[in-house]
Amino acid sequence: MIKVTIWNEFRHEKKHDIVKHLYPDGMHTVIARGLAGDKDLQIRTATLDEPEHGLTEAVLADTDVLTWWGHVAHGEVRDEVVQRVQKRVLEGMGLIVLHSGHFSKIFKSLMGTNCSLKWREVAEKERIWTIEPSHPIAAGIPESFELPNAEMYGERFDIPTPDKLVFLSWFQGGEVFRSGCCWERGQGRIFYFRPGHETYPIFYNPTIIKIIGNAIHWAVPRIQKEDVCPNAKSLEVIPPRKVDYSFVPEAIRKNIPTA
């Protein structure tokens, strides 16, 4: 079984009228229900306002893949929880970052860049192109598909060049965007997936859920390994060696006791 934790900030659903009605139990619940048909997955959810944001040491130790949706409260995510998640990713846990999670502390810390982009919210059409059809995340996904209403995210998306770019978006207004990006950090796999704006019914779309499910399978840890930085004994015998100081200026060299 793949142990999945679906994390959601769960704030828009409590405050904004459209979102409250669209996702009365939260986006995390709709994503979890959408994935429920996959019998390989053992799913739990966690939200910002739970103690330790629902991401205790025990929960993370028992998570193979974490999905992340956040937007208005990135700054409220405690730094020690971010560090805990980052450590687990580097040890091998998979991480799927959705939509506005591009500005989350965890994504930015793993990317090391600003993760900024252009945006516009006018319910325009998005066409998503599958540009790596042989990639496991693209399994069963058509060459292209449309979201009738989307928030536009446009380039430049300030990320490190992805190891693999699986999806590319075109928007009615003319912009393009790298929408499905894969990276590896330490032993862990990371997938950023663009769709997921809270006021549109994105997570009720079966193609979107299928891609998230594929990404979870792709991001499963291959090994899980605590990071160490050991002083290593040589495997072969190395005869005693003197340090060569011959190219150090004489004025310096004469003061080095072993030179």
Residues that bind Zn ion (CB under 5 A): 100, 151, 197
How do 176-185 and 188-193 pair as beta strands?
A: antiparallel
Q: Could you give phi then psi for residue 165, rounded to 5 degrees?
A: -110, 110
Give the shortest CB-177-to-Zn ion separation in angstroms.
13
Burial (Cβ within 10 Å: 0-12, 13-18, ≥19) of residue 159? buried
Give the shortest CB-57-to-Zn ion separation in angstroms.
31
Give the shortest CB-191-to-Zn ion separation in angstroms.
18
Query: Is 134 strand, coil or helix?
Result: coil
- Residue 100 vs 169, nearer CB to Zn ion: 100
- Which residue shows structure tokens 């005693």? 240
Give the shortest CB-197-to-Zn ion separation in angstroms.
4
- Which residue shows structure tokens 């998640």? 85
- Residue 64 vs 151, nearer CB to Zn ion: 151
Q: How far is CA 163 from CA 120, 144, 217, in A?
A: 27, 21, 17
- Residue 100 vs 214, nearer CB to Zn ion: 100
- Residue 200 vs 218, nearer CB to Zn ion: 200
- Residue 84 vs 197, nearer CB to Zn ion: 197
Give the shortest CB-61-to-Zn ion separation in angstroms.
31
- Residue 67 vs 100, nearer CB to Zn ion: 100
How do 65-69 and 188-193 pair as beta strands?
A: unpaired
Give the shortest CB-252-to-Zn ion separation in angstroms.
59
Name the DSSP letter for residue 162: P
Distance CA 167, CA 178 (A): 6
DSSP per-residue letters across 203-247: GG-HHHHHHHHHHHHHTS-S------------SS---------TT
Query: Is 144 strand, coil or helix?
Result: strand
Q: Are 66 and 16 in contact (CB under 8 A)?
A: no
Give the shortest CB-151-to-Zn ion separation in angstroms.
4
Measured at CB, which residue is nearest to Zn ion? 197
Q: Tokens at residue 72, please?
A: 């208005």
- Residue 76 vs 163, nearer CB to Zn ion: 76
